[in-house]
Amino acid sequence: MEYIYIGKIVNTHGIKGELRIISDFKFKDKVFVPNFYFYIGNNKVKEKVISYRHHKIYEMVMFDGYNDINQVLKYLNEEVYILKDDLKLDSTEYLDSDLIGMKILEDDQVIGIVTDITYASKTNKLIEANINNKKAYIPFNEEFILDINLQDRVIKVKLIEGMI
């Protein structure tokens, strides 16, 4: 079973057991829904979401079987996960972790392998790659990333001189 981190429980809301989750997960619309299962903390305690709403910067959830703030206090500051198998993505959607290990092609020549996806800032995603046994970073935008083929596990890029 592969777990995917989707956020952190940062507080409660009200007295009926509602929890505030901070999340920047890419596919919130697919996981923050009633009847979806979350796995809480290091022990991955399985909980079923029975209600969801967005409030300010928070994803607000209630779990099945909890109706009092005192019952959910144990989850404060815990990380929230889902099972990768539960996440139903279409053929054009992917998680950043799915890109790791993909070949990087420029002009139909393999130039490297994706080793990680990192962020230079909150909005600037970078592909970390092993190119000629050196660590290189490729900005994740349409100027440099021409195509991502999930089936062939290939990313086509167009680099500029001096980038590597």
Does residue 52 lie in a domain region? yes
**pLDDT one-digit tens code per residue, 108-136:** 999 999 999 998 887 899 999 999 899 99
Select from 86, 106, 126 the last residue of a domain. Answer: 86
82 and 100 belong to one structural domain: no
Looking at residue 26, which CATH number applies to its domain?
Answer: 2.40.30.60
108 and 68 belong to one structural domain: no
Looking at residue 145, which CATH number applies to its domain?
Answer: 2.30.30.240
Does residue 164 lie in a domain region? no
* pLDDT for position 7: 97
The tokens for 29 are 């619309």
* pLDDT for position 130: 95
Contact status, residue 25 vs residue 7, Cβ threshold 8 Å: yes
Rounded CA-CA distance 156/81 in Å is 31
Is 80 exposed, middle or buried, given 0-12, 13-18 or 19+ CB atoms closer than 10 A? buried
Please report which helix (H) or strand (E) contains residue 71, including its range: helix 69-72
Residues facing 38 on adjacent strands:
47
Half-sphere exposure of 49 (CA within 13 A, CB side): 23
Does residue 24 lie in a domain region? yes
82 and 12 belong to one structural domain: yes
Range of the domain at 30: 3-86
Q: Per-residue confidence at 97, pLDDT binned at 50, 70, 90?
A: very high
Select from 51, 86, 121 the last residue of a domain. Answer: 86
44 and 73 belong to one structural domain: yes
**pLDDT one-digit tens code per residue, 51-74:** 999 999 999 999 999 999 999 999
Residue listed under structure tokens 């991955």: 44
Rounded CA-CA distance 51/35 in Å is 8
